[in-house]
Amino acid sequence: MSSLIEAVDVRRSFAMETRTLEVLRGVSLAIPPGDSLAITGMSGAGKSTLLHVLGGLDRPTAGRVLYRGRDLYALGDRERSAIRARQIGFVFQAYHLLPELTVLENVLLPALSAHGAFLRGARLRARAAELLARVGLADRVAHRPNELSGGEQQRAALARALMNGPELLLADEPTGNLDSQTGEDVLRYLFELAAERNLTLVLVTHNETVAARCRRRILLRDGLPGAGSPDPTPLPQSG
């Protein structure tokens, strides 16, 4: 099966005052459409950096990221931004909802950058309301984020990530700020919606129970896929 997204010998380093910090030191993996992959590892292993590189948010120092066979970082900024906006949904640990907007307006935001969005305003608002209902927030559409619990804010962030109908969903510790029961509720919605829409899901987590819900796992150690990963089947390598 061809890959939706592939990392080929990806490296990412950061220049410090006295040294260069190598966060990713040559990561290769291939993720087919509809797959679910958990990226696990200790704090500082490079999990979030890898996710940001895969999502077109952080240019690698070396190596390539191929999205449907196209080198994501060989594209111009405008074209890469368009892929990020239309094809990739992001769910972050800190929610990143805008406090001055209602929950419905926050979910609408990703769609407003598309050409002709204002002409489709009623349809887009209906889609945003439908997504909020799907994550159990039908009665919260007019509320501000600070009027929601943490779990409700994360569910709103999930609805926002799905607003443009992406095919790839990237989630960075989506339950990291939540208690166990609230986190379980968010995960249920996350995996149900990914399955319903046949999304490719890449999930960063330090929680082995959460990771076990994905079809495959990769364990990062010191910026490299580590030996002893809980997944006994190695991920496909490219290069």
Residue 120 is predicted with a pLDDT of 65
Q: What is the mean pLDDT of the chain?
A: 88
Position 233 scores a pLDDT of: 40
222 — pLDDT class (breaks 50, 70, 90):
confident
* pLDDT tens readout for residues 53-76: 999 999 999 999 999 999 999 999
Q: Of 29, 42, 38, nearest to 231 (Cα)?
A: 38
Could you tell me the pLDDT band of residue 239, with boundaries at 50, 70 and 90?
very low
Helix H segments across the chain? Answer: 47-54, 77-87, 103-108, 121-134, 150-161, 180-196, 208-211
| pLDDT reading at 30 higher than 50 | yes
CB atoms within 10 A of CB 86: 16
Question: Which pLDDT band holds residue 230 (cuts at 50, 70, 90)?
Answer: very low
Of the pLDDT bands very low, low, confident and very high (cuts 50, 70, 90), residue 177 is: confident
Confidence band of 116 (pLDDT split at 50, 70, 90): low
Task: Give the sign of the dihedral formed by CA 86, CA 191, CA 180, CA 210.
Answer: negative
182-185-190 Cα angle (round to 5): 125
Q: Are strands 168-172 and 200-204 parallel, antiparallel or unpaired?
A: parallel
Question: What domains can you pick out in the chain, each with its CATH number?
Answer: 32-57+87-222 (3.40.50.300)
Does residue 117 have a pLDDT over 80? no
Q: How much is the pLDDT for 114?
A: 63
133-167 tens-digit pLDDT: 999 999 999 999 999 999 999 999 999 999 999 99
Residue that is written with structure tokens 């006295």 in the block: 18
Cα–Cα nearest to 50, from 83, 25, 16? 25
The pLDDT value given to residue 95? 87
